[in-house]
Chain A
Amino acid sequence: MSARKVMLLRVAHARSGDKGDTANIGLIALKPEYYPILEEAVTAERVAKHFEGMTKGRVERFELPNLYALNFLLHGALGGGGTLSLKTDAQGKVFSTALLRMEIPVPGGLDVD
């Protein structure tokens, strides 16, 4: 079966927060069987491209297969961070759902609700 594209929102959930001028996004598979797909498709490079124009520094990725989750650090994403930032989302609280807009390829046979 051929691959098709779905929005991350359908296969993952997320929570984001801040550390200084760095936003962190925890991306969690909605089902354990989705985790390998996330690990394959949602690379640090892909996330950096997704947030182009919204983040100034590099993107790091860490894997937590035990929690079926990936953690991303977006450096220089918060306009100086903390008290310096002029942004509405100075603490990176909704970078979570911004990441869930990304479309990734999933195997045609995969059951996605």
Chain B
Amino acid sequence: MARTLRIASGQGFWGDWLEAPRRQVEGGPIDYLMMDYLAEVTMSIMQKQRARDPAVGYAKDFVPLLERLLPALVEKGVKVISNAGGVNPCACAEAVVEAVQRQNLGGRVKIGVVTGDDILDRLEELESHGHPLSNMDTGEPLASVRDRVQSANVYIGAWPVVEALERGADVVITGRVTDTGLTLGPMLHEFGWAPDDWDRIAAGTIAGHINECGAQCTGGNCLVDWEHIPNMADPGYPIVDAAPDGSFHVTKHPGTGGRVTVASVTEQLLYEMGDPTNYITPDGIVDFTTIRLEQAGEDNVRVSGVRGRPATDSLKVSISYLYGFKAVGTLVYAWPDAYEKAKAADRILRERLERLGLEFEEILTEYVGVNATHGPLAGEPDPDIAEVQLRIGVRARDAAPVRRFTREIAPLILNGPPSVTGFAGGRPKVEEIVAFWPALVPKSEVQPEVEIFEA
């Protein structure tokens, strides 16, 4: 039997379970540890951090996490692929170099850095080349928000990861490489698939899609029989066990909690899905209606049959720009008449905001415990409901009205409806809103670069 390749998922987002990567490395044999840190919101947070301090702007906790794992990674020959580099992959790599030296592993770990996704300094140049970077949803040209742009990153695919591996990297740190590319990259490298082997590229992309959200395919957030999924205090994170023909198994280490079933994998496959026949990545297009799933054993799902189509000539760009400000305030009303009191407080607050002449783009009231998640579908609450949380949010282009709003919540405790509590957290925080502008740029305009850092 041809050898298989085991790619383990260690993080599904920035903020995921810190224990997971270590358990993936120590729990059994793996070849690669994939850690996905990036989402649009994450990129904007990192961008703000870099604006304050040019030495940051990456997933900072990746470095101590990796440092603890380094001796085991080197001993077992496990390679790491991660987009922890965020908006500052080189700074992240330099921090990793220091970590390698602290562990006395100098000379034994090569770090590959993938850059070229950051096009913030090239927006004018691209516009002058006739690319208006129009908003994919609204069609507006970027010029309308140009002076408020904070960051601009192209989603790049798996091939620069392959290049880093070919040049001997043991740890590959990237900027905005797609989530799926982090798993596809090692498959392309190890199996030597051709750039136009669209079906296998599609299969590797599906493997990446399954891996990219960590335990969300191994029993986490799984609706089916959720109360009986075993040992969720110690969930096994997914491992893709891939064959050169493009088929693979989804599994987890023995003895871990959670559950890998056709149901758990199907839920993850459909997560954040658009048109399933046309899932576009920089590496190729995937048709999700060709996927075959079968339960091959306990905690073992076989994935096969995936078909793909050629990649497009464009890359997606995520541009973030300053939009405005928002704040959310909450108060808790207790029985009796909890819901009626919360509604009265909302009416009073809105009247006060209006008398102050404050203008908002939106004021949204939700009643947590009644309708915050399912809206009108939840129906009317029990008249004897024990408590209701009033949750009011406002959004405006200017900070001033939002700031004034945050001063109007606390007074309600003494000058509004009775039996109210839950204000220990103080005034709501005014948050700056960084919004996203999805656009396309021709592939020919973007040149990903790979650099090797010797530690």
Q: Are B272 and A64 in contact (CB under 8 A)?
A: no
CB of B393 within 8 A of CB of A67, answer no
Bound together, the chains give a CA A94 to CA B434 distance in angstroms of 24
* Interface residues as binary, A1-31 with B (CB distance below 8 Å gives 1, 0 otherwise): 0000000000001110111110010101010
Main secondary structure of the interface of A (DSSP, over half): mixed
Bound Cα distance A83, B272 (Å) = 17
State in angstroms the CA–CA spacing of A80 and B271 once bound together. 19
Q: Check if B395 sits within 8 Å of A67, measured CB to CB.
A: no
Contact A64 B276 (CB under 8 A): yes
A56-113, CB < 8 A from B: 62-69, 71, 73, 79-80, 82-84, 86-89, 94, 96-98, 101
In chain B, positions 312-369 with a C-beta closer than 8 Å to chain A are: 323, 326, 328, 362, 364, 366, 368
The listed residue (A66, A73, A88) touching B366 by CB distance below 8 A is A88
A85 to B320, CA, bound (A): 15
Report chain A residues within 8 Å CB of B269: 26, 67
Residue contact B376 to A54, C-beta cutoff 8 Å: yes
* A66 and B290 contact, Cβ closer than 8 Å, known pairs A15-B268, A53-B376: yes
A79–B364 Cα distance when bound, in Å, is: 9
Cβ-defined contact, B270 with A86, below 8 A:
no
Residues of A within 8 A of B395 (CB): 80, 84, 86
B364-A28 in contact (CB<8A): no
Give bound CA distance, A53 to B435, whole Å. Answer: 24
Q: How far is the CA of A51 from the CA of B291 in the complex (A)?
A: 30
Bound together, the chains give a CA A87 to CA B274 distance in angstroms of 22
One of A24, A50, A66, A98 near B272 (C-beta < 8 A): A24
CB distance from A38 to the nearest CB of B (A): 13
Which chain A residue lies CB-closest to B291?
A: A66
Main secondary structure of the interface of B (DSSP, over half): mixed
Q: Which residues of the other chain, A, contact B292 by a CB distance below 8 angstroms? A: 66
Are B276 and A28 in touch, CB under 8 angstroms? no
| Chain A: CB-nearest residue to B290 | A66
Measured CB to CB, the closest approach of chain A to B131, in angstroms, equals: 21
CA–CA, A32 and B275, complex, Å? 22
Question: What separation, in Å, do the CA atoms of A101 and B371 have in the docked complex?
Answer: 14
Complex contact A17–B272 (CB within 8 A): yes
In the bound complex, how far is the Cα of B364 from the Cα of A82, in angstroms?
A: 15
Q: Which residues of B contact A96 (CB under 8 A)?
A: 223
A96–B272 Cα gap in the complex (Å)?
A: 12
Docked Cα-Cα span, A13 to B138, in Å, equals 33
Q: In the assembled complex, which residues on chain B have CB atoms less than 8 Å from the CB atom of A86?
A: 326, 328, 362, 364, 393-395
Contacts of B366 in A (CB 8 A): 87-88
Let me know if A88 and B362 touch, CB within 8 A: no
Bound complex: CA of A24 vs CA of B279, how far in Å? 14
Could you write out 11 A-B pairs with CB less than 8 Å apart?
A15-B267, A20-B436, A24-B270, A26-B266, A53-B375, A64-B288, A66-B290, A66-B291, A80-B362, A84-B395, A86-B326
Interface residues of B (CB under 8 A from A): 40-41, 44, 137, 221, 223-224, 263, 266-277, 288-293, 323, 326, 328, 362, 364, 366, 368, 372-377, 391, 393-395, 433-436, 438
